[in-house]
Structure 1
């Protein structure tokens, strides 16, 4: 058996994890049990009973866990080798943390935790992409000034895609497009004519004749989209993740809602080609998301990530096509992809990189803004709330647009706010339209804009 070769350290890296009782938290805590050079010492979540139950389920002895009442209790628990379960931000002992993994998914709490950690000289691994879209530029700048690291966490698509992009650029390619598959595949069974999207089924027999891209790619993509029109394929989480990629890579979007083509992976190099070459793209250097179409039993793209590049020597790329690589029919484009994102299983890579200062991550800038476009006429007094697994806001659609002088309100800054003026269908929600915006996070966003795009 081959065992972990985790780096020997004089003492384990001490990790504080917010949003500990979520799915991401569980995957990270499970993986940390395999890494003797890292230790989760403070688990922060208002649901302390849920955290304790999860720890018991993971095999952590009850006498190794302490529910704390203040920061002094937390310090004592950590020093005694116990896991401190923390319900309140005021009870965190920052002097007993080396790295914060921020996974609340809430902009107010997540920003406050990250800001406090940086102020205390603690590295931050940001998993809450919602926070990143609004305050990531400012938090990163503050971390650099403080001499600590602020990094997007491996295991979620933004960091994985940025890591893939760095590899692609280091090998000498120019990037035409960066993207990922949507969270849930479209699994089509030709025997029944039913397509299944994570348990939601739709009768779509037309897909049986559309499994091959055919000679008219735009027509095929349009027909596939029509066949699955009853399924919700786009999610705010996708736009959020691609906005994070934009911050660090400089990529923009081809269309503000992204294309979401229904695609089989071996078609990606053809689909994300320029229009002049038969593809979808009117511009290049963009981010996008596709819906993966597969048959029962075929491997999933697993919410993985891809980069589209221009090829070179025709003979070279025919050799690579022969080895199974995804090359466009005309040989001008290729797709390089990683069909996975393993959530917290991968995050220890970022934790180690933060402590060892080995990450090579560009300074983020607000190249695009994740904004909110009114889906219907919204009367004054309308309140906004982030809801559901995909952290969406009723009444508005997430779109990626060019930054302005700070007048457009970022999508997640609507959380907890209300309209002071009516907003017409199709209009972007602006700061002047809102009351009750989280002031500290809004100030961080505006501060980030001043750093330029």
Structure 2
């Protein structure tokens, strides 16, 4: 039975899946636009630090006032409506909520909400890749211990990549490389919120008329979001990050099997079973032919001559040897697709991708020469960007994760291009997110070393 038919059954039997959403920003708003159109789903609450912003988001995506007029979750459950609140903890604890969605984008908030979901045994969809990369391996262990599902968010690229990887492996193909496309030039690593819109080509009118956040969009441009998403994929799919960070090679869909194959076979990969992000721009700024800027891909290898012949017989584009081929999805619709995760958890008891190992980490890396006394401003800001690296290397360098590089004051100078270290910053070890991260580092440090493969999370 399909997901949709199972949701229809939930609706017809009067037992809808009760969902609580935290964060009414862009991703959350896109889900809000679709949730009322999905049978068997009752969005019982929207939690946001600004209830007024949440109300405006609901109105903007087409809701009428009557749909979110409930004063309590109990009243919303009885009336089939939605309550707006600023108390996410109370929403998670409510007996009227089955599945929690964290779409806040705040690493600290995401960690807190995941721990609360474990405490109250509520399944959680972690849209918040920042939180997942910062502490996902530990959160996955806690979720398993609590007997709940901790899931990636369908529609976001990591979950879609994990789906392609799972497809390839399930039919007996070895995944050589998996990842996504983006718009990239080396100069983007130094981009700031002051320069971001020029790089995107957005006009002042477009920015003023939409729900755009300069620092968030800059985190996509400066390489941080790509690093975070590839770390999440590595940790969910057992793939290995490149030792020197993402290369962002210019590559169109037709060239995937040629470029993303091992060096010994004419490609650029130092290792098999890795992650990489491809650029939609040539290094001189020209557009790549048939780019994959909005999409995801997986490159795989034919295990035998017979399978290689099948690739050719059924029109699969391969490299010149016929051994390597690729599949891809040319787009992702982020929050519009989030309902797949909710449905998969509710009626199949399955995550749409989930952290299983700690293979990849993202280090806060200086965009320019930083001086002692400066304050770090996190993803997409003026001071640091996120660089992907193997977890073993991150631990060996004692690298500060990008997800915590907010409002920390530097004790030491940090040269441009170098990872900021824990010893370079002042920090409060009692803060929940910092405590959880340091606990995870201590837990895994004995399990991970440069000469030792990462071990399973659960």
Q: How does 1:143-182 map to 2 (within 5 A)?
A: 143-182=143-182
2:198 corresponds to 1:199: no
Q: Residues of 2 paired with 1:259 and 1:122: CA distance?
A: 39
2:108 corresponds to 1:108: yes
Q: State whether residues 305 and 338 of structure 1, in contact with CA within 8 Å, keep that contact through their aligned partners in structure 2.
A: yes
Q: Deviations over 1:95-118 (max 9, x none)?
A: 221111111000122221222122
Q: State whether residues 223 and 387 of structure 2, in contact with CA within 8 Å, keep that contact through their aligned partners in structure 1.
A: no
**Which is worse superposed, 79-88 or 130-139?**
79-88
Task: Give the structure 1 partner of residue 44 of structure 2.
Answer: 41
> How many residue pairs align between the two structures?
403
Task: Give the structure 2 partner of residue 246 of structure 1.
Answer: 234
Q: State whether residues 366 and 448 of structure 1, in contact with CA within 8 Å, keep that contact through their aligned partners in structure 2.
A: no
Q: State whether residues 152 and 354 of structure 2, in contact with CA within 8 Å, keep that contact through their aligned partners in structure 1.
A: no
Q: State whether residues 154 and 352 of structure 2, in contact with CA within 8 Å, keep that contact through their aligned partners in structure 1.
A: no
Q: Deviations over 1:45-83 (max 9, x none)?
A: 223223223323433331221375xxxx34434444321
Q: Deviations over 1:189-238 (max 9, x none)?
A: xxxxxxx975379xxxxxxxxxxxxxxxxxxxxxxxxxxxxxx9652111
Task: Give the structure 1 partner of residue 386 of structure 2.
Answer: 398
Task: Give the structure 2 partner of residue 446 of structure 1.
Answer: 438
Q: Residues of 1 paired with 2:221 and 2:137: CA distance?
A: 29
Tell me the TM-score normalised to structure 1 length: 0.80
Q: Residues of 2 paired with 1:261 and 1:379: CA distance?
A: 32
Q: Residues of 2 paired with 1:16 and 1:58: CA distance?
A: 17
SS at match of 1:167: helix
SS at match of 1:325: coil
Among candidates 248, 264, 269, match of residue 276 of structure 1: 264
2:64 corresponds to 1:76: no
Q: State whether residues 373 and 396 of structure 1, in contact with CA within 8 Å, keep that contact through their aligned partners in structure 2.
A: yes
Q: How does 1:31-430 map to 2 (within 5 A)?
A: 31-66=34-69, 73-92=72-91, 94-182=94-182, 198-199=200-201, 234-292=222-280, 301=292, 303-314=294-305, 316-317=307-308, 320-321=311-312, 323-355=314-346, 356-359=348-351, 364-386=356-378, 391-403=379-391, 404=395, 407-430=398-421
Superposed displacement of residue 89, structure 1: 3.1
Q: Residues of 1 paired with 2:273 and 2:428: CA distance?
A: 33
RMSD value, Cα: 3.1
Query: Where does structure 2 lack aligned partners over 5 or more consecutive residues?
Result: 186-197, 204-219, 448-453
Q: State whether residues 137 and 445 of structure 1, in contact with CA within 8 Å, keep that contact through their aligned partners in structure 2.
A: no
- Higher strand share goes to which structure? 1
Superposed displacement of residue 171, structure 1: 1.0
**Which is worse superposed, 368-377 or 315-324?**
315-324
2:22 corresponds to 1:18: yes
**Which is worse superposed, 162-171 or 414-423?**
414-423
**Which is worse superposed, 10-19 or 45-54?**
45-54
- Higher helix share goes to which structure? 2
Task: Give the structure 1 partner of residue 193 of structure 2.
Answer: none
Q: State whether residues 268 and 326 of structure 1, in contact with CA within 8 Å, keep that contact through their aligned partners in structure 2.
A: no
Q: Residues of 2 paired with 1:4 and 1:145: CA distance?
A: 30
Superposed displacement of residue 259, structure 1: 1.3
Q: State whether residues 95 and 120 of structure 1, in contact with CA within 8 Å, keep that contact through their aligned partners in structure 2.
A: no
Q: State whether residues 177 and 260 of structure 2, in contact with CA within 8 Å, keep that contact through their aligned partners in structure 1.
A: yes
Q: Residues of 2 paired with 1:395 and 1:184: CA distance?
A: 19
Q: State whether residues 155 and 345 of structure 1, in contact with CA within 8 Å, keep that contact through their aligned partners in structure 2.
A: yes
Q: Residues of 2 paired with 1:360 and 1:128: CA distance?
A: 14
SS at match of 1:273: coil
Superposed displacement of residue 397, structure 1: 3.2
Q: 1:106 to 1:81 in 2, by over 3 A?
A: same
Q: Residues of 1 paired with 2:106 and 2:354: CA distance?
A: 24
Q: Residues of 1 paired with 2:258 and 2:290: CA distance?
A: 20
Q: Residues of 2 paired with 1:184 and 1:435: CA distance?
A: 33
Superposed displacement of residue 143, structure 1: 1.0
Q: Residues of 1 paired with 2:352 and 2:335: CA distance?
A: 20
Q: 1:299 to 1:32 in 2, by over 3 A?
A: farther
Superposed displacement of residue 31, structure 1: 2.0
SS at match of 2:269: coil
Q: State whether residues 162 and 245 of structure 1, in contact with CA within 8 Å, keep that contact through their aligned partners in structure 2.
A: yes
Q: 1:339 to 1:321 in 2, by over 3 A?
A: farther
